[in-house]
Amino acid sequence: MNLALVPFDDRDGWIWLDGAFKPWREAKLHVLTHALHYASAVFEGERMYEGRIFALEEHTERLFRSAALLDFEIPYTKAAINRASTEVCERNNFSDCYVRPIAWRGSEQLSVSALNTRIHVAIAAWAWPKYFDEAKLKRGIRLCWAAYHRPPANAAPTAAKAVGLYMICTISKNIAERNGYEDALMLDSDGNIAETTGTNIFFVRDGALHTPIADCFLDGITRQTIIHLARESGVIVHERRIRPEELPSFSECFVVGTAAEVTPVGEIAEHLFTPGALTFSLKERYEELVRQPPAPHEHVGEGAALRVGCEPCSPKLSA
Ligand code: PMP
């Protein structure tokens, strides 16, 4: 059975919901839930590789920080969420899977104000081998320009992985797919290149990496990891404003994210790129890193990004 065709509410397995494991089909919420009406929810996207969730602690940190940005507090410790994230994979017999924690405001109050709502948390896991079609990965995916720009940081809590910020992503990605593209590239409010609907973007020029400054969109954990891996191998990384007019000056382009990992880009609208050596070497290095077993002093579930001294991770994520 092709799992992609099985609705997400009708699968076998277990979902961690508010502190206990529930049979998959019973992990439900009421239609009058604050989060459904007012987007008061934050989530994470993680990947388990060979029984270990890559950068689990950084993801859990971001989940808590996202909740704080949406003015609510997750009623569990980070250690409990870390434990439950790993346990939900084990309970479903996954050693390689995608993990989705989500926290949201409940049904106690259905108005813009939400001070009396209870906070719920669920964690689910499912098999998700590749974000983009495997056949397209080698020659690179095709991006078009997105229908919407990213909101500036003073117009939305842009550092949060908040469900409300994905409204413009879904609209943009749907249009892209309808027109035969794999994804859409979004600009910021000043017209600089920002990110795609679910990944951060990198360009290559003369052996150096160029990537937009992540100040109005998610500073992805994969983005930070790639910057570290590149610098570690002597590649210069420029975090800067990038104009769309610069596209012809870049030789390679790739996008990164937990789900997408490192994905070469072959086209942005009419601009063509040939996936090359730097893209493929970082892709390979990333794929090695996420599978690295923990060092003896580490506790279970600690992210490999920490181990390689990914110095931008912790301070930026907890900023
Ligand atoms: N931007 C957006 C909009 C995303 O949804 C994601 C995926 N979480 C990313 C960037 C990449 O973030 P990460 O590397 O932490 O998965």
Q: Does pLDDT of 174 surpass 70?
A: yes
CB 128 within 8 A of CB 108: no
Angle at 229 between CA 246 and CA 276, to 5 degrees: 50
Mean pLDDT of 209-213: 98
Q: What's the pLDDT score for residue 300? A: 35
What spacing in Å lies between the alpha carbon of 198 and ligand 1's midpoint? Answer: 5
247 versus 300: the higher-pLDDT residue is 247
List the residue whose alpha carbon is closest to atom 5 of ligand 1: 198
Query: What pLDDT does residue 304 have?
Result: 44
d(CA 192, CA 212): 8
CATH for the 3-126 domain, from 3.40.50.720, 1.20.58.220, 3.30.470.10, 3.90.226.10: 3.30.470.10
pLDDT of 139 higher than 60: yes
Catalytic residue among 22, 161, 173, 283: 161
pLDDT of residue 1: 59
Ligand 1: does its nearest atom lie under 6 Å from the Cβ of 221? yes
Mutate to test the pocket of ligand 1, among 199, 217, 225 (most ligand atoms within 8 A of CB): 199
Distance 26 CA to ligand 1 centre (A): 29
**pLDDT value at position 296?**
57
- Domain limits, CATH 3.20.10.10, in the chain: 134-317
The domain over range 134-317 is classified in CATH as 1.10.300.10: no
- Spatial neighbors of 140 by CB under 8 A, at least 6 apart, are 253, 254, 263, 264, 265, 266, 267, 273, 274, 275
- Longest CA pairwise span in the chain (Å): 57
Q: Whose CA is nearest to atom 9 of ligand 1?
A: 199
Q: What is the mean pLDDT of the chain?
A: 92
Q: Is 70 exceeded by the pLDDT of residue 309?
A: no
Q: Where in the chain is the domain with CATH 3.30.470.10?
A: 3-126
Instruction: Assess whether 22 carries a catalytic annotation.
Output: no
- For ligand 1, the distance from its centroid to the CA atom of residue 182, given in whole angstroms, is 16
Model pTM score: 0.92
* Ligand 1 pocket residue status of 198, Cβ below 6 Å: yes
Quick: pLDDT tens for 57-100: 999 999 999 999 999 999 999 999 999 999 999 999 999 999 99
pLDDT of residue 303: 42
Are 201 and 143 in contact by the 8 Å Cβ rule? The answer is: no
| Predicted local confidence at residue 129, as pLDDT | 83
Please say if the pLDDT value at position 301 is more than 70. no
pLDDT at residue 178 is higher than 60: yes
Give the side-chain half-sphere CA count within 13 A for 301.
18
**305 has pLDDT over 50:** no
Residue 153 and residue 159 in contact, taking contact as beta carbons nearer than 8 Å:
yes
pLDDT, tens digit, 9 for 90 and up, residues 116-128: 999 999 999 999 8
Higher pLDDT, 313 or 147: 147
Residue of 247, 76, 64 whose CA lies nearest to 145: 247
